[in-house]
Each structure stands twice: as C-alpha cells, then as structure tokens.
Chain A
Amino acid sequence: MPDLPPPIDDRLLYLDADGTPALRAARERANGRLVFPAPGEADRDRYEDVLLPREGRLWSWTVQRFRPKSPPYAGPEAFEPYAVGYVALGDAIIVEGRLTGAPLDGFAIDMPMRLVAAPFTLDSGERRTIFAFAPVGGPAA
C-alpha cells in the first residue's frame, strides 16, 4: 500500500489495499436515497453504509482563485488556485470536490472523470489525504 497520510475525516474515504479511494456515503433505508457525506453514527438505524462509484462525468466546474478565509479553510497561508467541480458519479449522485490532473483551464462539462486520493497540507504543516477528481486517462494525481 502506498504511504498515504491519514484521511482528513475518518468517515470520508475508504482506501483499499493498493490505495485506490472510494467515497463513503449512506443509503437511506426507507427510500433508497443516497446521502453524501454519510451521516454520523447516531443515525445508523436509518442508513446503511455504501461506497460511491469511482467514475463519472464533470457536471460543472470553476476555479478558486483567492485564498478562502480561515476558518473554515485549513490550507497553508501560501495559496495556489485550485479547480473545483461537481461530478455525476454514474447514475448515483453528483459530488463536489477539488479537480486535479489537468491545467486550471483544462476542464469541460461532460469530461469523463475518476476519483483519486490527493494530498492536502494543513496550515500546521501536517499532511492529510483528501479526495479529488481527475480526467480519465490523465496523469495520476
């Protein structure tokens, strides 16, 4: 298994033996509706755990070009713009995340995307693993 830092949240990511990520979500037992992020332990009787599909198509995107305010943003003071988008994962759900694996102007609606694990450095210098989406066939994140 590659040496990945811990996920930024225990309930966010599932990483399999070779480090391939999947997003942890929940399915509402009563109506089958998918919920992401997964609700907390207190609601376990209403939900079952599921992993979301890893691939989909870019639904919309933008670029975050200024440093967000801290809190809530926990990234380093030195700021590099990053792309953000919503990806429709199969027929399941549309999930928001950072985009990677292409230049900031290299994204387009309907582009095939896949989930990747991405490094994230906190302002304290500690490292965490977050999720991102990258173009299918593009360089690994």
Chain B
Amino acid sequence: MSDVYIIGAGIHPFGRTPERSGLQQGVFAVRQALDRAGLDWRDIQFAYGGSDAAGKADTMVSELGLTGLPFINVTNGCATGGSAMFGAYSTVKSGEFDLGIAVGFDKHPRGAFDPRPADWGLPDWYGETGLMLTTQFFAMKIQRYMAMHGITRGTLAAVAEKAFDNGVLADHAWRREPVDAETILASTMVSDPLTKFMFCSPAEGAVALIFASEAKAKALGLPAVRLRAAAVRSRPPGSFEVFSPALDVDRGLSPTHIASRAAYQMAGIGAQDVDIAQLQDTESGAEIMHMAENGFCADGEQEAWIAEGRTRIDGILPVNTDGGCLACGEPIGASGLRQVYENYVQLTGQAGARQVPGDPRIGYSHVYGAPGVSAVAIVERA
C-alpha cells in the first residue's frame, strides 16, 4: 500500500467554448497537466476519465497517443469526476501502478438539465407534469432548511456575492464580474427562494489530475499534495434527494454526511483541521447546507459565519476559493475534479491573486449529485 500524491494538474477554462468539443477540452486539460509537470503521455501508466454528456473519455488516446495504457471510462452523474479520482487513488494505493491520470470533462447545452424519467426509474408522469427539475429540489431543500434553522435570504445572497468576488480572481472561472448582494436578491426569481444569480448553470470545461505513488512523487520532486482521503458514498435511508416523488417520514442523514465522516476517518483528522474547503454549490443554499453536512458548523450557525466573512478568502475557513460552481458553472464530469484542482493549486502556493494566505495545509473537497451520491477528498500539502 502506497500513499497517494497529486503531482500535477491541468484545467480547460470553464464556461462556453464553441470551438472545442468536450473531449477536446479534456485533451487540453491532460496536455496542460503533463506540460506543467514536465511529463510525457508515454509516462502515464493508466487513466480514469469520464463525462456525463460529452462522449467517451478513452477515445482521447487517438489525440494523446496510442500507448496501450488501460483507460477506464467512468460515468457516475455529478460524482463522475470524484469517482474517476477514487479509481486513480485506489489504483496507486494498491501498488498496481505508480503514475496515472484522472480526467473529467463535459459540455452541456444552455438551460436546465432535461432528464428522462425512465433513466431514473421513475414513471413518465413525474416528468410530464413538471416535477422533475433539479432546481425545484434545491429550492425546496433550502426553503425548509431556512425555516428550521433561521437562515435568511440575505445570507443566500452573500454566498453568491462571495462566489462572484472569488471568480474575478480565478482565470479558469466563467463569471468574472462581481455582482453585489442587492443585485443578486433583485434578479429574476427562478425557484423561490432562489434567484437567477443564486444558481449555477450547466456549462463546459475539463480538468486533469496526475496521481503518483509516494516513491514516484519523491523521485519527480514536483509541487505535490498527499491525498489523505477519497470517499464516495451513495444515499442512506431517509435522505432527501433530487428527483424524489416521495420521502420517508423518518428522516435520516445525507450521502454527504456519511461520505464526509468516512473521509475524516480515513484521514485521521476532523473538520477543525481543514484550512480551505471546496463545497458543492450548485446554488447558494447548497453551500450553506453543505457547510453543516460536512461538519464545519452546526445547523444555523452559517448565518453568523457568513455575516462575519469567515468563508471568504481571508477568513478562517475559505470556501469555494475559485468561485465554485456559481462562478465556474457546472460541467458535470469536470466539476468535482475542479474542486481538487483548486485545492492542489492553493496548497502548492500557485493560486496567484486568489491565494489563501497563511500557507494552507489541509484542503477539503465535496461534490454531490443525483440520485444521491457524494464524493469527498482531503488533501495535504506535501
């Protein structure tokens, strides 16, 4: 069993790139990761890759080189990137290979996702009558949370405002203009209580991460982070998930909660040890709820946390330092890996204008998706 390191990372800017397919954006990210690490595609012994809607990752070998490496396609909804990373992590940890890559990419059309009920084991009427929308789920989850735990609309707006402020500083972000809280609150209501600027949009982009064994990482001597934990969990009984025509009366934990606790256990640390966090923020309410589900604060404490700026880049726990999904958009297959990319860049001191001060040591990332899956990774500056 080897410790697992991330020794290189590449990203194709998120947003809209009409001239490149999703696959081409994936190739771009892989090449950038290799270039920055001074490695060649022929050095890579295995790959995991995937997209939700932009094609088969393993076809990248036609552009990257026909080296014969094992290339495993991963399709796991919003956790596609997280699952690809879990595959790469397990492969290096097992000792099977000592240098590999995980790549995620996507390219979605404009507007909300348009799922087919049968793909989710649901009857057609659920979609036909206009109930099958991710936006409704997010709105109803935060609506109830606000009522139970005293979260205000101003806090929803403050989270989005922070995301756009951070996006201004991130060269891979899509939205790079600040938007003030007043404008966010006054923008078009999409699904009450969430306005247009509180939601992220489906988008395009790609991320590649290079994984190495401890021996390989030491031999290469590149800027690196050690992967202390990578956990993927599906939903426990009584959770509240996207695309649920009904919920059990007995309410339970979330997949995020159990993935998070598993990751802390693997890493042998607690939430109080984390220096920066990238939390799934498909809308601003999600970031608020995920702060508690990942153990960073108790339910309701977010109101004070955000009012005091504790999650800003100069706060005690900077959250979504590149603007998260709100500023970067959500290319499903790439989104979870973007979070790890951002932690890698931050912990290796390469984040430029958005660099978190004080030499952050521990980075936490969390992705969530339908039909109830979460992936958490914890990395430490090597």
A contacts, CB < 8 Å to B: 8-9, 11-12, 25, 33-37, 59-66, 68-69, 71-75, 82, 84-86, 88, 91-98, 105, 109, 120, 122, 130
Contact: A64 with B112, CB < 8 Å?
Answer: no
Contact of B140 among A61, A65, A122 (CB under 8 A): A61
Structural contact, B130 and A73, CB atoms closer than 8 A: yes
Q: Which of B117, B130, B144, B190 has the most CB of A within 10 A?
A: B130
Does B38 reach chain A (CB closer than 8 Å)?
no
A71 to B247, CA, bound (A): 25
Cβ contact of A94, chosen from B188, B190, B247, cutoff 8 A: B247
A60-B143, A96-B131 known; A69+B114 contact, CB < 8 A = yes
Chain B residues in 8 Å Cβ range of A82: 130
**Could you say which interface size class chain B belongs to?**
35 or more
Distance (whole angstroms) from the CB of B320 to the closest CB of chain A:
23
Tell which of A62, A72, A92, A96 touches B117, judged by Cβ atoms closer than 8 Å.
A72
A41 to chain B, nearest CB (A): 13
Whether B125 and A64, one on each chain, are in contact in the complex, defined by CB atoms closer than 8 angstroms, is no
B129, CB-defined interface residue at 8 Å: yes
The answer to whether A84 touches B140 (Cβ under 8 A) is yes
* Inter-subunit contact B247/A69 (CB<8 Å): no
Q: Which residues of A contact B249 (CB under 8 A)?
A: 88, 91-94
Q: B65 contacts the other chain (Cβ, under 8 Å)?
A: no
B156 CB, nearest partner CB in chain A, Å: 13
Q: Is B218 engaged at the interface, CB distance under 8 Å to the other chain?
A: no
Select which of A37, A73, A94 is within 8 A of B128 by beta carbon: A73
The answer on a CB contact under 8 Å between A63 and B192 is yes
B133 within 8 A of A: yes
Beta-carbon nearest neighbor of B191 in chain A: A62
Interface residues of B in 59-102 (CB under 8 A from A): none
Provide the residues of chain B in CB contact with A72, threshold 8 Å: 114-117, 124, 126-128, 132
Chain B contacts for A92, CB-based, 8 A = 249
Minimum CB–CB distance for A27 against chain B, Å: 13
Residue of A nearest to B117 (CB): A72
Q: Is the C-beta of B147 less than 8 angstroms from some C-beta in chain A? A: yes
| Contact assessment for A62 and B129 in the assembled complex, using a CB-CB cutoff below 8 Å | no
B270 contacts partner chain A, Cβ-Cβ < 8 Å: no
Instruction: Point out the residues of chain A lying under 8 angstroms from B188, CB to CB.
Output: 65
CB contact between A62 and one of B111, B112, B124, B136 (< 8 Å): that residue: B136
Q: Is B17 an interface residue (CB 8 A)?
A: no
Question: Would B130 and A96 count as touching, CB distance under 8 A?
Answer: no
